[in-house]
């Protein structure tokens, strides 16, 4: 993987996985060393000072009030913000030692290894089978498609519900099923890191619970970063939680990181006053 990417990036060989990042508690190696200094949309400063190293095989949750930039930071981890006109980032995102914003890096190559699940379920207007096969075809996968697709659908806990109708439209599924289909589509290519942007906000509580269980299973194999507005969800699934807040002092609305710690510590003994107030429910 690394070697493949450096053909695009022509970077000097970097250490396979950086260790000893500033995450406080004892942890596994850092998969993605994300250090945002500023993110601008045009002249608007959307996010400042957010350093969120993502540890391999963990679930990292981004929480905070709306407008705090948690989604913006998440989307900058696989360069999805490139599609927003005027987007500009200062800082770095090192993925397995390589800066994904370095000149010469192909964002398409980045997104192939770093999958994404969106807020709204967004299956393609084609069959369930083709939805899941999409990423495999993109990557010119030459193997047993049926096996891969079954594995991905089982991984997304959808197999039993759809195994008899793989050729029916993905759009005919319920909202919760659609979102699990999107997860299956994302994990079919076995991404290194899975970004989930409020994946449950459009789902009912039962479907939400299923997706949460799924995340805990996926953690065995994948690394996950999730944006959520649901504090209980962060507590239930996340190993580590980053709390973002909004700074309106300069007149704009700029998000920044308040604290980033293991979830139990953050919720059990928040260090900062804003975190304490937010967890209590003073703002939402």
Using CB under 8 A, list all residues that contact another protein.
Answer: 1, 4-5, 7-8, 16-17, 27-29, 31, 55-58, 78, 80, 83, 85, 106, 108-113, 115-116, 118, 120, 122-126, 134-141, 148, 171, 182, 185-186, 188-192, 219, 221
Which CB atom, from 216 or from 277, has the smaller least distance to another protein? 216
CB of 52 to another protein, least distance (A): 17
Which CB atom, from 150 or from 247, has the smaller least distance to another protein? 150
CB of 228 to another protein, least distance (A): 18
Q: How many CB atoms lie within 10 A of CB 277?
A: 13
Which CB atom, from 111 or from 180, has the smaller least distance to another protein? 111
CB of 269 to another protein, least distance (A): 23
CA distance 242 to 61: 6
CA distance 61 to 65: 13
CB of 274 to another protein, least distance (A): 30
CA 223 distance to own-chain centroid: 9
Which CB atom, from 4 or from 272, has the smaller least distance to another protein? 4
Structure tokens at 102: 């370095």
Which CB atom, from 218 or from 246, has the smaller least distance to another protein? 218
Which CB atom, from 162 or from 258, has the smaller least distance to another protein? 162
Which CB atom, from 221 or from 232, has the smaller least distance to another protein? 221
CA distance 234 to 76: 20
CB of 273 to another protein, least distance (A): 32
CB of 201 to another protein, least distance (A): 13
**Measured CA angle at 148 (ends 115, 98), to 5 deg:** 30
CB of 210 to another protein, least distance (A): 20
CA distance 30 to 77: 14
- CB-based burial label for 102 (10 Å; 0-12, 13-18, 19+): middle
CA distance 24 to 79: 27
Closest CA to 211 of 243, 237, 185: 237
**Which residue has 């002249």 as its token pair?**
43
Closest CA to 18 of 99, 80, 82: 99
């Amino acid at each position: 993987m690394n070697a493949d990417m450096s053909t695009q990036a022509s970077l000097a060989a970097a250490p396979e996985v950086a260790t000893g990042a500033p995450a406080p508690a004892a942890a596994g190696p850092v998969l993605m060393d994300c250090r945002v200094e500023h993110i601008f949309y045009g002249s608007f400063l959307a996010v400042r000072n957010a350093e969120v190293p993502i540890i391999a095989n963990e679930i990292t949750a981004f929480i905070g009030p709306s407008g705090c930039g948690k989604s913006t930071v998440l989307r900058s981890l696989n360069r999805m913000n490139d599609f927003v006109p005027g987007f500009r980032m200062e800082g770095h995102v090192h993925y397995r030692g390589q800066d994904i914003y370095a000149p010469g890096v192909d964002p398409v190559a980045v997104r192939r290894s770093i999958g994404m699940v969106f807020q709204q379920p967004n299956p393609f207007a084609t069959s369930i089978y083709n939805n899941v096969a999409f990423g495999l075809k993109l990557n010119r996968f030459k193997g047993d498609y049926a096996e891969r697709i079954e594995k991905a659908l089982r991984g997304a806990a959808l197999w039993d519900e759809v195994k008899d109708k793989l050729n029916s439209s993905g759009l005919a599924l319920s909202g919760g099923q659609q979102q699990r289909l999107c997860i299956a589509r994302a994990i079919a290519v076995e991404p290194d890191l899975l970004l989930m942007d409020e994946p449950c906000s459009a789902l009912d509580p039962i479907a939400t619970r299923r997706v949460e269980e799924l995340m805990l299973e996926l953690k065995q194999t994948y690394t996950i970063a999730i944006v959520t507005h649901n504090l209980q969800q962060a507590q239930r699934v996340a190993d580590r939680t980053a709390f973002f807040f909004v700074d309106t002092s300069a007149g704009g609305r700029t998000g920044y990181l308040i604290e980033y710690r293991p979830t139990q510590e953050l919720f059990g003994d928040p260090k900062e006053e804003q975190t304490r107030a937010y967890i209590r429910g003073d703002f939402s």
